[in-house]
Structure 1
Amino acid sequence: MPSAKTIVSTAASVAASAMVIRSIARELVPHELKLFVLMNIRGLFESFSSEITLIIDQFDGLASNQIYRAADIYLGNKISPSTKMFRVSMPEKENKMSISMAKNQEIVDHFDGVKLKWKQVTRQVESTQYVSYTGQSTKMQSEIRYFNLTFHKQHKDKVLNSYFPYILRKSKSAQEENKTLKLYSLNQDHARRFGLDSWHWITFNHPATFDTLAMEAELKKMIIEDLERFVKRKDYYRRVGKAWKRGYLLYGPPGTGKSSLIAAMSNYLNFDIYDLELSAVHSNSELRRVLLSTGNRSILVVEDIDCSLELEDRQAQPTTVNVLKPLRTMQNVRVTPADVGEQLLKNEDPEIALKGLLEFLNAKLIEGCESQAS
């Protein structure tokens, strides 16, 4: 049996030989060949691995990646007491904190019996040269963020078809619960012309609710039921080919509660408010751009619409106004296609919807008869 001295001497000789071989390989073997060998070795080991890893980048080109944003919100609610680091933030003007994974942290999640390992990866990258307004040239540091999601390869279909939709639903629910209501106002003309956002916002803290609103009980109940029915029927609107929107016309002198009703609706639905003054919009294309920049699940308020429209000019161009010609059942009875559609959308059951439409038309007929008699 060799002595300890012999073993140590042999090990030292082997280590020295390995270092010599490594030095020779570093000098003589091209970098491309080394990279090729390493990639093939790595690919060989990965081919025997039972796991698969999905990379979820923060951005998809210049646009935000919806899956990344949803995962960031979802995982923020999954942080356990064993997590050593997490990120807490509260943007300016917001009143609720948000929690998310810290840089390069890992979390294990379980879904329908599947174990999923998440890792938040953040890498510093050097951006292009930047010249400040003082003329000094500097290089700005920026970050690339993405998630690595690792799981057994046999669960790929379940992850893509069930787990990701589940994350999207849960993150959307969390966003609604933690949402800070905002009141948006239109930016000035010069700001919009120079490419700034169409809207600026402040936190909306109006105290009005349906509980505090002075309104007839039956009318209040009717409005609440109508709002709930509208929110629940987004898919139904899509099936029948209607835009998912709801309109209310509020009229009356100042102080009668129009603004309070809007605030109560916003607090009840958890919808932001966009306050649009039509006199600040000067063309149809600008109005279209402003409307397209509003967010989903929001309330668009057009105040004093009768004072904002140039009715005399519009009457001079009947083709721009007479879009829906009313159907006349008899003199003094006017029913528009919009009225018919409104009645049919009140219930998903065809028989109940048609019955409601007939009752509506009958009420209009009686109203017209009484108007003629007087």
Structure 2
Amino acid sequence: MHFSYESLPPPNKILTAAASVAASIILLKSIVNDLVPPQFHTFLTSSIKKLSTKLTVVIEEFEGLTSNQMFEAANVYLGTKISPSTQRVKVNKPLKQEELSVTVDNNQEIIDFHDGVKLQWILLSSSIKRATQGNKNGNQKTELRYFELSFHKKFKDTVLKVYLPYILRKAKEIKEEIKTVRLHTVDYNGTDYWSSVVLNHPATFDTMAIDFDVKKEMIEDLNRFVKGKDYYRRVGKAWKRGYLFYGPPGTGKSSLVAAMANYLKFDVYDLDLREVQCNSDLRRLLIGTANRSILVIEDIDCNVGMQNRETDSPAAEDKITLSGILNFIDGLWSSCGDERIIVFTTNHKDRLDSALLRPGRMDVHLEMSYCTFNGFKILSANYLRIEEHGQFAVIEELLTKVKVTPAEVAGELMKSEDADTALLCCIKLLSDKEKIQSKTQYS
């Protein structure tokens, strides 16, 4: 069959015909509206909706004045589901986060699949006018955002009971992965007595110069703690855990705190008790800390002596007391939050009051001792990138005779990038310490 453009009617006739059809449709609709009773319209519309297999769930951004956690979770989750065909995305840089955040934009459809169920997401918005004081027009436009989630209605229970809770959990994991760990310090000018900076400390459990078994036990204990929400609730205890790191200076107590923070992605709150004015301030500081955080009280032995202050001193009432510290870490105020870790450090464990040392306040006692040969091998791998060397036997023998901190060993290994030179510096340090300690022993 031969087709030719010449066989088509002129364009003006085509437009005339199209207009005639459109007019006929409008006329027919008008006649139907006039002749068919309104009750039948409602019935017909309702019947069509009942025949539809599609169900739509609406998730608004706010519930009154409160943020809707489901909306926030969906926004985070769908940011990881954006397909190459998506035409528009939104990118922002949160104030306390180093990485960019990608989310969907308005009217961009996202298709997701979960356990074989097809789910269609779309972000929509509408504007409403709200009455406001001080506005000349008497009202102000506000944008209301909401997600519409559509799926086959036979999967209603699966979506509501399985899929949406899954999104809440997944969004939490995503936020923790991209979270920037921050270091908070006391700031009485702040709204909650704290100010913060990004914690860029590179310490990890892999780089810590402590024995493998100690690391393993520490990591297992932390993992049990973060997974223990139901357990702590069942036994009726606040979801918190206390650690005491004790040992001589330079053994890595502060670095271990940083390693814990980097491992758990917990913020660190550094509390210097000497800066705290009174017990009530101590409570305010605790309330100001966030969930999933590590509160650090360093050199607790230097501050715990405050319970021996003379009670008749005029300034005594303005200072924190031992009972204030105990209530702070194990009283009713300590339950104002979840998933919190409190770390105490000291150079002299024997100086601490036994009331501080008991379980529930300091659950785990970890001695940060002098450098062992296993610790030295970790340091040499970190600084020199070597795992074996001819001088290792000499260093291993010396480490059984002298007491040297990991910080001192690291200082020698940093003196040269050449392994031979750095190890000779380390051997000299250990040999000199052996001579000094021998003289002290026999003097």
Q: How does 1:114-125 map to 2 (within 5 A)?
A: 114-125=117-128
The answer to whether the 8 Å contact 1:130/1:140 transfers is no
The answer to whether the 8 Å contact 1:314/1:320 transfers is no
Q: Which residue of 2 aligns with 1:311?
A: 307
Cα 1:76–1:16 shift into 2, 3 Å = closer
| Selected match of 2:253 from 249, 255, 258 | 258
CA offsets 1:27-74 (integer angstroms, 9 cap, x no match): xxxxxxx9x998776545433322221111112222221111111111
| Aligned-partner Cα distance in 1 for 2:360–2:279 | 28
| Selected match of 1:270 from 260, 265, 270 | 265
Q: Which amino acid aligns with 1:269?
A: L
Alignment of 1:64 with 2:67, yes or no, is: yes
| Aligned-partner Cα distance in 2 for 1:149–1:312 | 63
The answer to whether the 8 Å contact 2:243/2:363 transfers is no
Q: Give the superposition deviation at 1:184.
A: 2.0
Cα 1:94–1:140 shift into 2, 3 Å = farther
The answer to whether the 8 Å contact 2:126/2:144 transfers is yes
The answer to whether the 8 Å contact 1:130/1:137 transfers is no
Query: Aligned to 1:206, what secondary structure does the other structure show?
Result: coil
| Selected match of 1:229 from 220, 224, 230 | 224
| Aligned-partner Cα distance in 2 for 1:216–1:13 | 86
- Indicate the RMSD between aligned Cα atoms, in angstroms: 4.3
Sequence identity (%)? 45
Of 251-260 and 105-114, the range deviating more from structure 2: 251-260
Cα 1:314–1:272 shift into 2, 3 Å = farther
Query: Aligned to 2:245, what secondary structure does the other structure show?
Result: coil
CA offsets 1:165-198 (integer angstroms, 9 cap, x no match): 1111211221122111111223325x43xxxx44
CA offsets 1:103-138 (integer angstroms, 9 cap, x no match): 121112122222211111123444554769xxx999
Q: How does 1:64-83 map to 2 (within 5 A)?
A: 64-83=67-86
Q: Which amino acid aligns with 2:206?
A: D
Q: Give the superposition deviation at 1:79.
A: 1.0
- Structure 1: segments with no counterpart, 5+ residues: 26-33, 325-333, 345-374
Alignment of 1:297 with 2:296, yes or no, is: no
Cα 1:111–1:187 shift into 2, 3 Å = same
Provide TM-score, normalisation by structure 1.
0.67
Q: How does 1:26-65 map to 2 (within 5 A)?
A: 43-65=46-68
Count of equivalent residues: 313
| Selected match of 2:241 from 236, 243, 246 | 246
| Aligned-partner Cα distance in 1 for 2:288–2:40 | 52
The answer to whether the 8 Å contact 2:242/2:360 transfers is no
Q: Which amino acid aligns with 1:219?
A: V
Query: Aligned to 1:56, what secondary structure does the other structure show?
Result: strand
Q: Which residue of 2 aligns with 1:104?
A: 107
Instruction: Please say which structure displays the higher CA radius of gyration.
Output: 2
